[in-house]
Structure 1
């Protein structure tokens, strides 16, 4: 009794079977066309016409053939064969040219496909590497900025209160308030505003970033309420507005960082070469424009001297309660950059 066939055994391929050809797609050789193409058909037709013409018209009379003998027969044969040979040579040349054109087109298509695949691979690799590369660049920039800050500043090690608590500039009483007897101060102290803190003072000197910077405007209003810093803020606003009329903006300037000890020497009254490092603005166009306006515009000149005078006074008081790191942050504000630029123009660092 015959057993039923197992369907799984029928799917096992025969090892003796001929393996299928590998599909190379575009890179496979072109299929061989028909052996007899239109070119050969034309050649065959022309050959038949030529032979028929030779048979129909002939090549001369029998008397001429007898007179010429074998030479005449040879010439007759050549006259028949040579045109046929030329016809088939032309046919083979046309067929070869057609094959070469097809091969050239196939090679060009292969090259285009390889170029497209290479470009796609490069774009894919660049897209895959881009997030990591951007992250590494951001880390490098942050590390460089941190290193520059550490090299340019030596943070004070003394125990100080937080910047949000310490006063940037001690309150200044007017001469009339100072002359009043002590009991009268009980009514005056209710109207006295608390001194602005170091952190708010630095933010105020940098001014708001844009019209949406609510915290910056809050800090600026707070600074304008403090009599010790209100004059410096006003003077800084004036010179920044005048400089912007000439296309000079503090955000475009990249000053060299100076050590905090140089700023402290400036606060203690040193001028000239010992504090030349504070003039870290090297933008030639900004210096030339500011210097030219200093010579021609008396309003600008008065505003600059008014600003430098208030910056000197305010910074002398600020330096007493500020750490080295806070001085470095103040040096990076727009007001401090204006001081560096105008200080070089007026010769403060010469």
Structure 2
């Protein structure tokens, strides 16, 4: 693209040029007319009215003086108006020149930066985005490795003994899997927020404890899937600042209420995140299935969590990354409408 570099410079002194000091033809004509009028008046008084000058009353004399002076005054009023009009026209021309200069300066400033400072600024922004992406990928990769290391430690139940002909069939012994140990609410909340960094030992400890519960592990897996898919569009839960709802609304939602009474739970106001998520929901069936699966898992967890949770624990749950993903996806999917 060719740059407009050959623009002619503005003449020096164009903004301070004053043209009201010179004498124009208007002033010359006005002066001649004034002189002729005064000469005519003088001839009238000295020649034609010399015999009657002594008999004039003072009021008549005043009127005659005004009759002589007023035309001259009107002539110079017209001259003053003409000079003012010329000054306004010259000011308008100077203003037009200033506007053109400002426009040219603005257009030259619209060109993409090619200097080193502009390149350094762009590179710095790209490095910041890449660092944020690596941070998320590191946490998720550590989470994968932790889950993989925990998986082999689970003991598979031994097969039930084959009943003999003279022995009644016994039920399968699945008590070890059927009885799930209920997680403390604080551990569940810490696990659903995921580890902050790769050195977050408390976060990984809570996550390992939560993964031992089958229901919670399914929710964590569903949350991890949607967080990973959202990060592909540059949507990170740490960047969202939702309007936090009261614990009473979360309790009413957990108890089955829907519609406008719980609309305050959709506190995500970031328009770009909402638009990107809605577009992904319409166009990507994999993302849509993962989102609906996550919403169902979170809804089931909330129903079990709410009866034993305090208001403070519900508020802490609402501030986790998993809950923010639920607010975002739930608002896009119309759960709170």
TM-score range (shorter-chain normalised) is 0.3 to 0.5
Superposition TM-score, scaled by structure 2 size = 0.48
- Structure number with larger C-alpha Rg: 1
Superposition TM-score, scaled by structure 1 size = 0.46
